[in-house]
C-alpha cells in the first residue's frame, strides 16, 4: 500500500466521519465516539437511510445541511442527500485549516466485502473523500449481531496507525468485520477486493395493476477467489482491502495503444 511519510508537526488530526445508514444509526455513533480519542471529529452524514447508493450525487437541486444536537450540545450535521453528497458538502462547508486528514465511513450494518463494495454507499462516501485527495476508510460489520463497540474500537486503533503513516491520496481502505466480537474473530487479513459472499439480484413477483414488480434477491455464494477479501472474510477474519480511486487498467491501456486505432470510419487506400 503506498504511504505518505509521517509529519509529526502537522497539528490536530482532523477526521470527517460519515456513513450511508443515516445520522441516527448506532454504527456512526459508536465510530465517532471512538475516534474522538484519536483526533478532532466532524460528523456529517445523510439524514436518513441511503444504503446501496454507491458514489451517486444529487444533481439539479439544492441539498440541505442541518445541525443535529444531542441534548444541548451539537453532535453533527445531516444532509438530505447521498453519502457522497455528505462528504462533498462537508469538505465545502467545514474544511478545517490544513484540510481533513482522513474520511472514515461507517460503521455500516452489513458487510461490503468483495464485489458488493461497488454498490455500497459506505464505500462510495469514502471514495468521495478520495475524490478530494483525502485518504479514507470504509468500515462495515457483517453477521447477525449488530453490536458496534468492538469494530469501532478496532477501527480507531487502525486509524491511529494511519495517523502515524497515512496512505497516499486516492486510496480507500475497505475494512470488513465478519462478526461483532473479538472472541469470534480469527485474525486480520490484507487481501484484494474480489468475489461475493452473497449473490444480489432481483426476482419477479406478483404484478400490481398489470405492472411488473421485482424485489431484491439474496442467495449465498459457495466459492470465493483465493487471496480475496471475501475468502478471508468467510474464514472469520477482519479484512482490509486497499482500493484505488483510479480505476484504470494499465495493462489493457497499453494493449489498446498498440492497435493503431483510427478515428476515420472509412480509411483511404494509402492508410
According to the model, what pLDDT value does residue 46 have? 96
Work out the average pLDDT over 27-48.
Answer: 96
Instruction: Give the domain ranges of the chain.
Output: 14-197+225-257
Tens-place pLDDT, residues 175-193 = 999 999 999 999 999 999 9
In the sheet with 171-177, reading across from the earlier edge strand, the strands are 65-70, 73-79, 40-46, 14-18, 102-109, 136-141, 171-177, 237-244, 187-190
According to the model, what pLDDT value does residue 268 have? 65
Work out the average pLDDT over 91-96.
Answer: 92
Nearest-5° Cα angle at 205, 199 to 206: 175
**Residue 2 banded pLDDT, cuts 50, 70, 90:** low
Which CATH number does 14-197+225-257 carry?
Answer: 3.40.1210.10
**Residue 154 banded pLDDT, cuts 50, 70, 90:** very high
Q: Considering the chain, what is the average pLDDT of its residues?
A: 90
According to the model, what pLDDT value does residue 265 have? 84
According to the model, what pLDDT value does residue 72 have? 85
The answer on pLDDT for 209 being more than 70 is yes
DSSP state of 4: P
Residue 236 and residue 184 in contact, taking contact as beta carbons nearer than 8 Å:
yes
DSSP string, 118-184: GT-HHHHHHHHHHHTT--EEEEEE-SS----HHHHHHHHHHHHHHHHSPBPTTEEEEEEESSSSSTT
Tell whether pTM > 0.75: yes
> What string of H, E and C letters represents the secondary structure of 187-239?
EEEECECCCCCEEEEEEEEEEECCEEEEEEEEEECCCCCCCEHHHHHHCCEEE
Amino acid at each position: 500500500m503506498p504511504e505518505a511519510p509521517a509529519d509529526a508537526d502537522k497539528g490536530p488530526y482532523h477526521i470527517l466521519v460519515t456513513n450511508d445508514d443515516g445520522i441516527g444509526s448506532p454504527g456512526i455513533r459508536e465510530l465517532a465516539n471512538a475516534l474522538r480519542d484519536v483526533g478532532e471529529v466532524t460528523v456529517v452524514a445523510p439524514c436518513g437511510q441511503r444504503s446501496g447508493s454507491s458514489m451517486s450525487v444529487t444533481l439539479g437541486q439544492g441539498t440541505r445541511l442541518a445541525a443535529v444536537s444531542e441534548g444541548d450540545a451539537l453532535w453533527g450535521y445531516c444532509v438530505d442527500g447521498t453519502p457522497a453528497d455528505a462528504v462533498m458538502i462537508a469538505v465545502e462547508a467545514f474544511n478545517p485549516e490544513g484540510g481533513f486528514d482522513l474520511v472514515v465511513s461507517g460503521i455500516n450494518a452489513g458487510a461490503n466485502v468483495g464485489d458488493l463494495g461497488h454498490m455500497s454507499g459506505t464505500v462510495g462516501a469514502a471514495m468521495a473523500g478520495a475524490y478530494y485527495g483525502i485518504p479514507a476508510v470504509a468500515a462495515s460489520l457483517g453477521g447477525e449481531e449488530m453490536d458496534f463497540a468492538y469494530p469501532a474500537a478496532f477501527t480507531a486503533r487502525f486509524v491511529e496507525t494511519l495517523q502515524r503513516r497515512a496512505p497516499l491520496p486516492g486510496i480507500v481502505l475497505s475494512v470488513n468485520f465478519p462478526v461483532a466480537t473479538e472472541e469470534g474473530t480469527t485474525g486480520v487479513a490484507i487481501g484484494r477486493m474480489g468475489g461475493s459472499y452473497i449473490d444480489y439480484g432481483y426476482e419477479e413477483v406478483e404484478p400490481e395493476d398489470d405492472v411488473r414488480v421485482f424485489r431484491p434477491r439474496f442467495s449465498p455464494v459457495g466459492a470465493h477467489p483465493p487471496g480475496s477479501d471475501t475468502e478471508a472474510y468467510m474464514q472469520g477474519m477482519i479484512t482490509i482491502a486497499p482500493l484505488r480511486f483510479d480505476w484504470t487498467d494499465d495493462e489493457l491501456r497499453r494493449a489498446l495503444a498498440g492497435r493503431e486505432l483510427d478515428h476515420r470510419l472509412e480509411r483511404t487506400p494509402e492508410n
